[in-house]
Amino acid sequence: MGHQVIIFDFSVIRGLWETRVKKNKERQRKEKERLEKSALERIKQEWTLILECRKKGIPQSKYLKNGFVDTSEKNLDTSGKNPQLKKIHALSDEVNKERNKFIFQLSGEQWTELPDSLKEQTYLKEWHVNNTLIQTIPAYIALFQDLRVLELSKNQIHHLPVEIGCLKNLKVLNVSFNNLKSVPPELGDCENLEKLDLSGNMEITDLPFELSNLKQVTVMDVSANKFHSIPICVLRMSNLQCLDISSNNLKDLPEDIDRLDQLETLLLQKNKLTYLPRALVNMPKLSLLVVSGDDLVEVPTAICESTTGLKFVSLKNSPVETIVCEDTEEIIETEREREQVEKEFMKAYIEDLKERESTPSYTTKVLLSLQL
C-alpha cells in the first residue's frame, strides 16, 4: 500500500494565491487610509521628518514653528539651498553616474546585433541585453576581462562563443529563454561563476563534463529543456544550493544525488518521475522539494514524515492542451511563452511557500486545467 503524498493542483494554488493577494492589497489600502487619519500616523510623520532633517543638518528653526513640528513646510525639498547638503547630493549623483559607466543595457526588438561601439568599452562590468532579436554573441567578448554579470535573457541567441571561457571574473551568466541547443565546454573555465541560468531554451539535452570545474556555483537553473537525467557535471558542483530542473524529461534521479550535500532547494515538477530515491533522505540541508505527483508510485516514507523541516510538495500536473499549427516555430514559441508565465508564477509561489512554517499534510486531489 502506497504512502500518502502531498498533492497540490497547480491551477487551484494559483487561484487561491491570486485571491489572497487581492484581499491582502485591499486590506493594506484600508489600513493605510485608517492610519493616515489617525493621530499616531501624524506623530510618526513628525518624527520621520525630524530624523531626516537631523541627518541632513537642517537646523530646528527650519522645521519647528512655535515649538511644534511643521510638516506642511517642504523642509527636505528646500534644503538644497544648504551648500553642504548640495555637496552631499552632488557626490551621491557622481557615484551613481560612475557606477552606471560600467553597465551596458540594451533592449527592444529593433536590435538584431550588438552595436559596433561596444567592442571599445572593454572596461564594462555588466551586460544586460534583453528582449532583442540578437542571434550571436561576438568573439570579442573575450576582451571584457572585468565582466561580472552577463545577463542575456529573452533574445534569439542560438550558440555561445567558445571565447566565453576567457571571462575569468564572471559571476552571473543568464542566457534563459533563447534558442541554445548546447553549451561550449569552455564555459567550465569560468571558475568564479556563482549563478548559471540556462532555462527556457527548450532544446538542451546535456551539459559538457567540463562544467564540473564550476565549484563556486550556488544556483543552477536548467528548467524547460530536454534533459533525460541530471548531468554528471551538476552532481559535481559541490557548493550547489538551489537546482531547478523542472519541465524536462527526467524519468529517474541518480542514486548518488546525495553527493550534493549543500543543496537546499530541488525543483523537479513537470517531469516523468515514477519514484524518488532514498538518497534524498541523506541530504542534510534539503529544505524544499517540489515534484509532480501524477506518475509517482513510490516515495520514501522519511521524506513525507521528515522531522528536519523539509517541505515536500507534490503538484498535480494537468496536461495543457496542445495548439495545432501549420508552422512548427509558432508551436515552439507558444510553449516558450507558456513556460515563461508558469516560471514567474512558480517563483512567486515558491517564495511564499518558503515563508510558511509548515505545509498541509495533504489536500484533495482535483482535476482542473491551468488556463494561461
Rg (C-alpha) for the chain, rounded Å, is 26
Q: How confident is the model at residue 25 (pLDDT cuts 50, 70, 90)?
A: confident
Cell numbers placing 125: 562590468
Q: Give 26-45 pLDDT, tens digit per residue.
A: 888 887 777 666 655 666 67
Q: Are strands 68-69 and 64-65 parallel, antiparallel or unpaired?
A: antiparallel
Alpha carbons 192 and 267: distance in angstroms, whole number: 24
pTM tops 0.85:
no
| pLDDT of amino acid 85 | 53
Show the beta-strand stretches assigned E in the chain.
7-9, 64-65, 68-69, 103-107, 126-130, 149-151, 172-174, 195-197, 219-221, 242-244, 265-267, 288-292, 311-316
Which range among 5-14, 219-228, 307-316 has the greatest average pLDDT?
219-228
Which residue type is seen at 156? Q
Please, are residues 187 and 159 in contact by the beta-carbon 8 Å criterion?
no
Q: Residue 234 has what DSSP assignment?
A: H
Q: Give 61-98 pLDDT, tens digit per residue.
A: 666 665 566 665 555 554 445 565 555 555 555 555 65
User: Angle formed by the axes of helices 10-37 and 39-55, to 10°?
Assistant: 90
Q: Give 230-240 pLDDT, tens digit per residue.
A: 999 999 999 99
